[in-house]
Amino acid sequence: MTQPLLQAADLRGAARLTTDAVAGLTSLVEAMHARIAGTVRLSAPDAPADERTRGLTGLVYTSVRGVTQVVGASAEALLGWLGPALAPADPARPPHPEREAIVAALNGVLGDHLAATDNPLAIAMAFRHAGRPLVLDRFAMRARLPEATPRLLVLLHGLCMNDLQWQRAGHDHGAELARELGFTPVYLHYNSGLSISTNGRILAQQMERLFDAWPMPVERLALLGHSMGGLVARSALHHAPLIQRGTLRWPARVDTLVCLGTPHQGAPLEAAGHGVDLLLGAAPYAAPLARLGKVRSAGINDLRHGSILSGAAGGDDAAQAQVTVSLPASARCFAVAASLGPAAGSLKAKLLGDGLVPVASALGHHREPERRLAFAPEHQAVVHETGHLDLLSSAEVFGLLRQWLN
């Protein structure tokens, strides 16, 4: 029996998020009011625009923000008090798939804000099996995974997704690789709205704990990342030598990294959203509306260039675009791209790729040679008439995984 669809913590998190949204919208409206009312002052382009109104109008906006915060805090306190009677979470029961999907999508869009405000809806990184978190202790691991093998496979989901969504159309790459090749699959569950670099650094330390707690010596360690998951895996491998003075042991044991539909060179849909920000910011009256475009999380912003380094989301995009992190030299690295078109498809299908990630980006190609990722030709593949999510259930993709991991 699964956990309830709605939990007490969900209600508290929603109340807090609603309070933040109303307060933020009030400030946005006030900023537009101030800009319109102060049209004459806009004749000095170098002067910063005043985004606060004065007098009675300013008092109204301040009152709205204050009342919103008080009501929000009261509602959250009430929900916290009622929490045990509503639907307390039971870690012994598998999670409700619909709830997990909703929370994962919310974290993908607003995950950095949820984490910064300590919202109960924020996902804390954990390794899971069958949807339930693993306790990173050797004795607990033995009890939980009695059939564990020396072959460890870690699967990393993509943006706005969760570990349960590796199960698609009745197929799970991890479960099938366990059955055919003897791997033990462990699924990462993480807040995909955090910057990729942040998730990479957290994962690097979590991987060491998993490595230490594994019930037996790890002989093979493979990483399988879908979409953003491939970037998080690369980020963890990049940051691991910089943590604890390079004493982490798990990176040396990684022998295979497979990326499915990973935007190594960025995702154009995110770049288009960034263009909207720039256009709105250029118009005096509409400039405050650019904040709405920035409701994309740090994780989404990082997809603009496939950035896996710190500061990518908030730093200089032009400079960040010039930084290329090479593939890990100690592991065999593979890349799978998907195309919605047939094998002899049009240029449009090639550029669109799987609907989210272009073929060239998924294969690490770039017009500038110094920015290309060195996937060996025999370690690259393109599957046709396949969408981004279909990579998770494709029989052709599984055939490649079985061949490469064997």
List beta partners, residue 63.
none
> 14-18, 23-27, 117-121, 374-378: which has the minimum mean pLDDT?
23-27
Residue located via tokens 């409206």 = 29
* Residue 112 in tokens: 């950095």
Closest by Cα among 402, 406, 315, 391 to 355: 391
Q: Find the largest Cα–Cα distance for the chain.
A: 74
131 pLDDT exceeds 60? yes
Secondary structure class of 255 (helix, strand, coil): strand
The dihedrals phi and psi of 110, each to the nearest 5 degrees, come to: -130, 20
- Predicted confidence band of residue 25 (pLDDT cuts 50, 70, 90): very low
Secondary structure class of 227 (helix, strand, coil): coil
What integer pLDDT is reported at residue 100 of this predicted model? Answer: 86
Please indicate whether residue 300 or residue 218 has the higher confidence score (pLDDT). Answer: 218
41 pLDDT exceeds 70? no
What integer pLDDT is reported at residue 393 of this predicted model? Answer: 97
Calculate the alpha carbon distances from 227 to 156, 244, 257, 284, 389 in Å.
9, 28, 13, 37, 9
Mean per-residue pLDDT for 252-268?
95
pLDDT digits (tens, 9 = 90+) for 332-372: 999 999 999 887 666 666 667 888 899 999 999 999 989 99
CB 160 within 8 A of CB 389: no
What integer pLDDT is reported at residue 83 of this predicted model? Answer: 45
Average pLDDT of the chain?
A: 78
Domain ranges of the chain: 8-94, 126-266+323-405
Mean per-residue pLDDT for 16-42?
47
Closest by Cα among 405, 337, 340, 329 to 374: 329
Cβ-based burial of 246 (10 A; exposed 0-12, middle 13-18, buried ≥19): exposed
Give the DSSP per-residue string, 133-191: EPP-SHHHHHHH-TT--SEEEEEE--TT--GGGG-BTTB-HHHHHHHHH--EEEEEE--
User: 126-266+323-405 architecture in CATH?
Assistant: 3-Layer(aba) Sandwich (3.40)
Please, what's the b/e burial string for 322-340 (b: 16 or more CB within 10 A of its CB; e: otherwise)?
eebbebbeebbbbbbbbbb
What integer pLDDT is reported at residue 204 of this predicted model? Answer: 98
Q: pTM for the complete prediction?
A: 0.78
327 pLDDT exceeds 60? yes
CA pair distance 215, 140, nearest whole angstrom:
9
